[in-house]
A = this chain, B = another copy of it.
């Protein structure tokens, strides 16, 4: 079987597994993050983002989203996000729960992205007692559609947020794929574009279970520690999570892994351009392809052992492929070979 279904199922990158083993052999240990790995994260991330940042390791994408979201949104607040955002569709009300009852305002938008104009026209109720108060804007980068916000698109959104007194959160479960896909620096699409806090994902890109909450303004971070404890996300052996993240940031491992994932996705996309019976549902900009392909082709790929996600129960021709840090060229070539028969 070749897994092109999701990057959330991949194994652990060898560099990261080795870091875990090293952390286990080290004798100078301490619990709850008072260890050298955890303590190194702040500096490593500050170098990476070209700015002093405040960081918190956690073990899941949902935790990495809801802990900062609930730090920046009062219980009577409104959170604006894309209607397909993970926080709106896949976290079983985690944001509503952690905030104590805030309301998510889902925004429409093509290819998984909404515009500054859409956001602007959706904002309502400020100062009106009976309406939730505009508090937070969340954007997903890489989007659920596998597309990317350009720096100027992000800036336009964060300006609308700022002018309405709102903070901005970026769900970066696939942040690495976005940085690689856009060819920008991490700073370019975060704080330089007005992002206040980033959920910087590692799990989908080679970690065992590790995400880093990155605050670009220290003052926003003051509640995080307590919220992390009461959420059950304050780990006694935190060093094993931090060791993953430290290695992830070292020697550009995060970029190396994302580069491979994106390259494999592009290799497929390039091949498919010439196959007229296949159409792209969304542009391919990172490591995900949403495609409409003939039912026969879908069947052939399945028969050849490819695992992927069918997007609709009623329409077998709508499929999604996600490439990963450990997707291999040979598997991709087997894939394109099958597809090219239909060209």
Binding site for B on A (CB under 8 A): 1, 3, 6, 8-12, 17, 20-21, 24-25, 27-32, 58-67, 74-76, 89-94, 96-104, 129-133, 203-204, 208-209, 223, 225-237, 240-241
Contact = CB atoms under 8 A, between A and B. Distances in A.
Nearest to A307: B30
Nearest to A104: B103
A60 B233 contact: yes
Given A8-B31, A27-B1, A237 B225 contact: no
Contact of A230 (B12, B17, B101): B101
A157 B48 CA distance: 48
Given A101-B101, A130-B229, A233-B232, A9 B31 contact: yes
A76 B101 contact: no
A47 to B, nearest CB: 26
Contacts of A133: 226
B3 A29 contact: yes
Most B CB contacts (10 A, CB to CB) among A8, A21, A129, A232 go to A232
B97 A93 contact: no
Contact of A28 (B1, B59, B90, B241): B1
Q: Which 4 pairs, one residue from A and one from B, show the smallest C-beta to C-beta distance?
A: A63-B232, A100-B100, A97-B101, A8-B236
A208 to B, nearest CB: 5
A74 B97 CA distance: 11
A240 B240 CA distance: 13
B223 A76 contact: yes
B223 A237 contact: no
27 contacts: A3-B29, A6-B236, A10-B29, A12-B240, A17-B21, A20-B20, A24-B208, A59-B235, A63-B232, A65-B232, A75-B227, A76-B92, A76-B93, A91-B130, A92-B129, A93-B102, A93-B230, A94-B229, A94-B231, A96-B96, A97-B101, A97-B230, A98-B101, A101-B230, A129-B234, A203-B236, A209-B241
Nearest to A240: B208
Given A99-B101, A130-B234, 14 more contacts: A8-B237, A9-B31, A60-B232, A62-B229, A62-B232, A74-B226, A75-B93, A76-B223, A90-B131, A92-B130, A93-B103, A94-B229, A98-B101, A129-B226
